[in-house]
Amino acid sequence: MTEYTQKQFDKMNIIDRYKQCPSGDYSKIKSFGEGCSFGEWCSFGEWCSFGEGCSFGEGCSFGEGCSFGEGCSFGKRCSFGEGCSFGKRCSFGEGCSFGEWCSFGENTIIEKDHKLISYIGIDRIGSRDRKTYFFNCEDGLWVRCGCWFGSIDNFKKRIKKTYPVGKYHTQYMEAIKFVSKIINLKKI
């Protein structure tokens, strides 16, 4: 994977107001202007800053504390470190994962269709000991568990089918109870 310097980045072509950035490692770049467009499997270091309207391809990986302006669009399976901040109207593709303390601006869209109100992540549960995300959206409660995404009702059905009894069944069902209580307490 090519590792780009700030000087190389600054010389990249601009076509139709968008800087064209091929796939590669951008971890040495600390500031990106508005309207950047990046290819698949890009990698960015900690404390990166991106302007408004940036577009990122599938599988991009971002370090801790990255900041994204309004209207950024992210492809499938992007991964974000802890403490990333997202501006208004950001959009996230399928399978994106978020670290702790991430914050989202107004009109954020999850999985292309669901306007985010808030989210809760429950870490280290299930057979793979990973984080499960519960997205409280305007059209209901949605769940991202590994590569699976669906409604809370479909998630319950999936748990009952996959883990009818036992430790993982209990972990997931208790997580659902907890999240449901938190959302009801906040009256969202």
Lowest mean pLDDT among 30-34, 81-85, 127-131, 169-173: 30-34
pLDDT for 60 equals: 85
Same domain, 33 and 77: yes
Domain end, chosen from 93, 112, 131, is at 112
Same domain, 89 and 13: yes
Q: Are 39 and 99 members of one domain?
A: yes
**Contact, 89 vs 74, CB < 8 A?**
no
Q: Are residues 129 and 170 in the same domain?
A: yes
Mean pLDDT of 85-91: 84
The two structure tokens encoding residue 93? 């593709």
Question: Are 31 and 95 within one domain?
Answer: yes
How much is the pLDDT for 172? 97
Query: Is there a contact between 175 and 125 (Cβ–Cβ < 8 Å)?
Result: yes
Q: What would the pLDDT profile of 129-173 be if each residue is shown by its tens digit?
A: 888 999 999 999 999 888 788 999 999 999 999 999 999 999 999
DSSP letters, 100-151, are: TT-EE-TT-EETTTEEEEEEEEEEEETTTTEEEEEEEETTEEEEEETTEEEE
Query: Do 2 and 83 fall within a single domain?
Result: yes
Residues 172 and 144 in one domain: yes
Q: Who has greater pLDDT, 125 or 113?
A: 125
Residue at a domain's end among 65, 82, 112: 112
CA distances from 151 to 8, 63, 131, 157, 176 (A): 44, 29, 17, 10, 12
- Domain boundary residue, one of 112, 142, 167: 112
For the residues 108-114, what does the mean pLDDT come to?
84
Q: Is the confidence at residue 20, as pLDDT, over 80?
A: no
Q: Quote the mean pLDDT of the chain.
A: 84
Counting DSSP H helices and E strands in the chain, the numbers are 3, 20
Distance CA 61, CA 74 (A): 11
Query: What is the average per-residue pLDDT within 66-70?
Result: 83
186 shares its domain with 154:
yes
Q: H or E stretch including 44?
A: strand 43-44
Beta partners for residue 122, in sequence order: 132
**40 and 123 in one domain?**
no
**In the structure, what pLDDT confidence band is assigned to residue 44 with cuts at 50, 70 and 90?**
confident
Does the pLDDT at position 188 exceed 50? no
pLDDT of residue 186 exceeding 70: no
| Residues 110/131, Cβ–Cβ less than 8 Å | no
Task: With beta carbons less than 8 A apart as the criterion, state whether 97 and 114 touch.
Answer: no
**What pLDDT score does 143 carry?**
94
The number of domains in the chain is: 2
- Do 164 and 182 belong to one domain? yes
Of 26 and 133, which is predicted with more confidence? 133
Mean pLDDT, range 91-108, rounded to an integer: 82
Same-domain check for residues 5 and 46 = yes
Residue ranges in the chain assigned as alpha helix (H): 6-10, 152-162, 167-186
Residue 185's pLDDT is what?
Answer: 63
Which phi and psi (to 5°) does residue 156 adopt? -60, -45
Provide the residue range defining the domain that includes 99.
1-112
Q: Let me know whether 79 and 171 are in one domain.
A: no
